[in-house]
Amino acid sequence: MGMTMERIVFSKPYRSRNELANIEAVLDSGHVHGDGPFAVSANRRLQAISGAARSFLTSSCTHALEMASLLLDLGPGHEVILPSFTFPSAALAVARCGATPVFVDIRLSSGNVDPSAIEAAITPHTRAISIMHYGGVGVDLDAIEAISAKHGLPIIEDNAHGLGGRWRGRRLGTAGALGAQSFHDTKNVHSGEGGALLVNDVNLMERAEVIRDGGTNRSRFLRGHVDKYTWIDIGSRYLMGELNAAVLDSQLAEFESIQSMRQAIWDTYSSSLADWAKNVGVELMSPPAHAEHPAHLFYVLMPSHDEQLGLLAHLRALGITGSFHYVPLDSSPAGLRYGRTPQECRVSEDFSRRLVRLPLWAGMPDDFVSRVVEGVGTYQCAERILA
Ligand SMILES: Cc1ncc(COP(=O)(O)O)c(C=O)c1O
């Protein structure tokens, strides 16, 4: 009987050193709701890493994106331009306010939004541009900021993948008026579920605090600035609970080492698969030198959809879980219902149908990384062989 090899999962939430002790400290402290000492500490660490002027921990990135929509007063008749190839929450946060998500195409070289498609989609109804740094590789910020300035449109930056990343030296998440982070357990640092809103526009800071706190001025009351708190604005309970913050704080304390573990795996994939990719006609993820990325993911772009399915099946048979990624939003059921697509998003469709992501997580054993490299390297594209 052959030895059964341990299955290599696609993603595994990182276990940080102090998380159990932190959780116990929270339960013992009697402060288990939001904005306790661990939230304060985690938020400080987040500000140091991101460079954001202010940040607010939230229950998810989705909620941070919803807060952005409320802060920009989005409503019926307003449009927000965003890439077709992104996570549904970017569009959901717009549609939830009764505004219309407008889907535009991406670039094949990065999976990031195509700035010229943004400019072409601007109408008198446009209220904001929502961008996402795919895999933490910065979008063309120079081009998008020029469009934003020319048309007076704020940028919402979905930086769920990009904490710690830089575009030409500038930290991702701080270029837009508002940036959104995710601490979902698939992310580099996590709190199970969780997120944060980075507020870079000083005019939005005070209101962000109120919107996150159920539309009340409770934070001001807790600081002794008002003698009772009351309902003053729209909002919801978007705070992160202290148990999640306890985990997040311990994860952020290890940020540098988590990043270097991921970077090492990313570098191994990139260098070890280069010859295979060239031989079989596959493109490897290859960010430009000026885009420092946080090794959130590694993908290969197969020559066709059949080869995407082929590689995924090949890996599955070897006990390795690869994964595709976003299903384009412009043709999704809710995208068709709530959104608008001025021009066909062909690249988004193509990218989505050819992309394969490889397992990548901090703490992934070296022999797992080697098995992935060998497994991918033994895949021969059928179409190539026939050609
Ligand atoms: C680009 C992007 N934005 C937003 C989200 C949503 O994050 P959350 O689960 O924290 O709401 C995800 C989740 O994977 C994502 O990939």
Query: 86 C-alpha to center of ligand 1: Å?
Result: 9
Query: 386 C-alpha to center of ligand 1: Å?
Result: 40
* Ligand 1 atom with minimal separation from the 132 CA: 1
Query: 80 C-alpha to center of ligand 1: Å?
Result: 18
> Quick one: average pLDDT of 350-366?
98
Residues with CB under 6 A from ligand 1: 60-62, 86-87, 89, 132, 158, 160-161, 182, 184, 186, 195
- CA atoms of 291 and 268, how far apart (whole Å): 18
Q: pLDDT tens digit string along 141-191?
A: 999 999 999 999 999 999 999 999 999 999 999 999 999 999 999 999 999
Q: In whole numbers, what is the pLDDT of the chain averaged over residues?
A: 96
Q: Which of 56, 182, 191 to mutate to test the pocket of ligand 1 (most atoms within 8 A of CB)?
A: 182
Given a cut of 90, is residue 5 above it in pLDDT? no
The pLDDT of residue 190: 98
Shared-domain flag, residues 224 and 206: yes
Domain assignment present for residue 203? The answer is: yes
DSSP string, 172-196: TTSSSSEEEEE--TTSSS--SS-EE
Give me the number of domains the chain comprises. 2
Shared-domain flag, residues 82 and 97: yes
Domain assignment present for residue 127? The answer is: yes
The 3-state DSSP class for residue 120 equals helix
CATH code where residue 184 lies: 3.40.640.10
Given a cut of 80, is residue 1 above it in pLDDT? no
Task: Kindly state the DSSP code that residue 35 receives in the 8-state scheme.
Answer: S
Shared-domain flag, residues 145 and 274: no
Who contacts 12 (Cβ-Cβ below 8 Å, separation ≥6)? Answer: 361, 363, 364
pLDDT above 90 coverage of the chain, percent: 97
Query: 275 C-alpha to center of ligand 1: Å?
Result: 33
Shared-domain flag, residues 94 and 127: yes
Shared-domain flag, residues 192 and 277: no
Shared-domain flag, residues 279 and 237: no
Query: What range defines the domain where residue 335 resides?
Result: 255-386
> Quick one: average pLDDT of 185-212?
98
CA-wise closest residue to 161 among 44, 253, 43, 287: 287
Q: What are phi and psi of 62, to 5 degrees?
A: -55, -45
Domain assignment present for residue 57? The answer is: yes
The residue with greater pLDDT, 341 or 385, is 341
Domain boundary among 253, 277, 307: 253
Query: 186 C-alpha to center of ligand 1: Å?
Result: 9
Given a cut of 80, is residue 385 above it in pLDDT? no
The pLDDT of residue 383: 64
* Ligand 1 atom with minimal separation from the 183 CA: 10
Nearest CA to ligand 1 atom 13: 87
Who contacts 110 (Cβ-Cβ below 8 Å, separation ≥6)? Answer: 134, 137, 139, 287
> Quick one: average pLDDT of 263-268?
98
> Quick one: average pLDDT of 270-286?
97
Shared-domain flag, residues 207 and 266: no
Shared-domain flag, residues 309 and 327: yes
Shared-domain flag, residues 102 and 235: yes
CATH code where residue 382 lies: 3.90.1150.10
Shared-domain flag, residues 45 and 174: yes
Query: 182 C-alpha to center of ligand 1: Å?
Result: 6
The pLDDT of residue 384: 59
Given a cut of 70, is residue 387 above it in pLDDT? no
CA atoms within 13 A on the CB side of 281: 12
* Ligand 1 atom with minimal separation from the 184 CA: 10
Query: 89 C-alpha to center of ligand 1: Å?
Result: 7
Domain assignment present for residue 184? The answer is: yes
Domain assignment present for residue 220? The answer is: yes
Shared-domain flag, residues 240 and 273: no
The pLDDT of residue 295: 98
Nearest CA to ligand 1 atom 14: 87
> Quick one: average pLDDT of 245-258?
98
Domain boundary among 192, 224, 253: 253
Q: pLDDT tens digit string along 52-102?
A: 999 999 999 999 999 999 999 999 999 999 999 999 999 999 999 999 999
Domain assignment present for residue 304? The answer is: yes
Shared-domain flag, residues 174 and 269: no
Domain assignment present for residue 1? The answer is: no
pLDDT above 70 coverage of the chain, percent: 98
Quote the pTM value: 0.97
Given a cut of 70, is residue 376 above it in pLDDT? yes
Query: 241 C-alpha to center of ligand 1: Å?
Result: 18
Q: Which of 82, 89, 323 to mutate to test the pocket of ligand 1 (most atoms within 8 A of CB)?
A: 89
